[in-house]
Amino acid sequence: MVDSKNNDAHVRLLDGLRVLDLSRVISGPFCTRMLADLGAEVIKVETPRGDRLRTSPPRRGHYSSAFTQFNAGKKSLCVDLRRDEGRDVVKRLVAKADVLVENFRAGRLAEMGLGYPDLQKLNPAIVCCSISGFGQSGEDAGRPAYTDIIQALAGLDHAAANIPEYEGESPPGVPVSLADTTASLNATIAILAALFRRQMTGEGEWIDLSMFDALVASNDTTLQRSAFTDGAEGVPSIIFRPPFKARDGFFAASVSLNVEKTARAMGLPALIEDDRFSTIGAQREHMAEFVDLVRAWAAEKTLAEITVAFERHDVPYGKVQSAEEVVDSALFRDRQMLVDIETESGDRLPVLNTPFNFAGGRATPSAPPPRLGEHNHEILGTLLGLDADAIEQLTSNGVVFSEDAQDPA
């Protein structure tokens, strides 16, 4: 486990970059969490209701697990964007920011006077990334979208139900937010590309990042094969198979790409000379038969026995692990994929790490997730230069809000 207070382990490649995060839940916050881990100052702008993940279970005292995961290392400004004064605060921040990330429904920011043309007037060099379900243009632009909707529309659920040997009556679905996280990863890449261009030209950029586009582009082969063959092949490749069942558990193994090694591991070297498996072309044609042989062999073995056989013959494999087993695994610990964050009260918050390892060290979150409006005074006073009376007026008028009674704002 990495200790977030061990500054020697931190790499801050984006130190000096200021990001306004107007996004909520996952598709934007995961993007800005990555930017924060890389050293950017991320100001999370929330309404008085706060990001809905703040109340999501499970919790450790004040902190939500999900909110911690996607918002560690950020600052929080709570401002009512329905009010002119609240929008004016955001406009003043835009003038001092490098990047703005938002995931409102398409057109919503423009309705508030915060569309990209408005932002350009305030700061021509700003990079704005708008993450939405279906993009900023087209007949579907205004549709609401969440990860399960996008994963269904982008073919992911259908692909999962059409893996060879799947026998379910309905698509099993994909119980992780791949549409959200994939959009966030692509948004991060696009933002960094726009910042590189700005360094050379001084010009800002508006990135229209659709969750649907991101998931389609990240589909490894299935959609491409369908388009490439005019719809003749629109199911997953034969290399994708459900996990195999052993006597005491399940495991995945790349047997279709390692026929000879797998045959030797099973103690069936004669299969290598079998006409059905002696060439790559024959293997493709008869792969279902080979997989059946592996299933029959595995059903009589324990996972420990399979591990010994596959490791001896260098067959790529892995046990199907529960979430608890993943977190408790040596691989998880060796890769330092858990960060221990210390709160002001001295409590420790475990949070998944981002995967950025550099020669100079590791990118990790620098602080726990912020309380709602925790940094109001710092942002309004220090960054925007408002005096105490002006901040008090915004607070008493309900324009800014803090859940912390100790917050000066």
Domains along the chain?
A: 2-220+347-396 (3.40.50.10540), 244-319 (3.30.1540.10)
Pairing of strands 348-352, 338-342: antiparallel
Residue 212 CA to chain centroid, in angstroms? Answer: 14
Q: Phi and psi (nearest 5°) for 127?
A: -100, 115
Q: Is the pTM of this model over 0.85?
A: yes
Q: What is the pLDDT of residues 73-85, one digit of tens each?
A: 999 999 999 999 9
Q: What is the pLDDT of residues 360-388, one digit of tens each?
A: 999 999 999 999 999 999 999 999 999 99
Q: Which pLDDT score is estimated for 9?
A: 61
- Is pLDDT larger for residue 231 or for residue 145? 145
pLDDT surpassing 60 at residue 7: no
For residue 409, what pLDDT band results from cuts at 50, 70 and 90?
very low
From the list 80, 180, 213, 407, the catalytic residue is 180
Structure tokens at 35: 């930017």
Residue 401 CA to chain centroid, in angstroms? Answer: 29
Q: What is the pLDDT of residues 109-119, one digit of tens each?
A: 999 999 999 99
DSSP 377-406: HIIIIIIT---HHHHHHHHHTTSB--S-TT
For the question of residue 180 being annotated catalytic, the response is yes
- What is the average per-residue pLDDT within 75-100? 97
Closest CA to 208 of 128, 312, 285: 128
User: Rounded mean pLDDT of the chain?
Assistant: 92
Nearest-angstrom CA–CA distance, 365 and 362: 10
pLDDT surpassing 60 at residue 166: yes
What are the start-end ranges of the H helices in 247-351? 259-265, 280-285, 287-298, 303-312, 323-327, 330-334
Nearest-angstrom CA–CA distance, 132 and 146: 9
Nearest-angstrom CA–CA distance, 288 and 259: 12
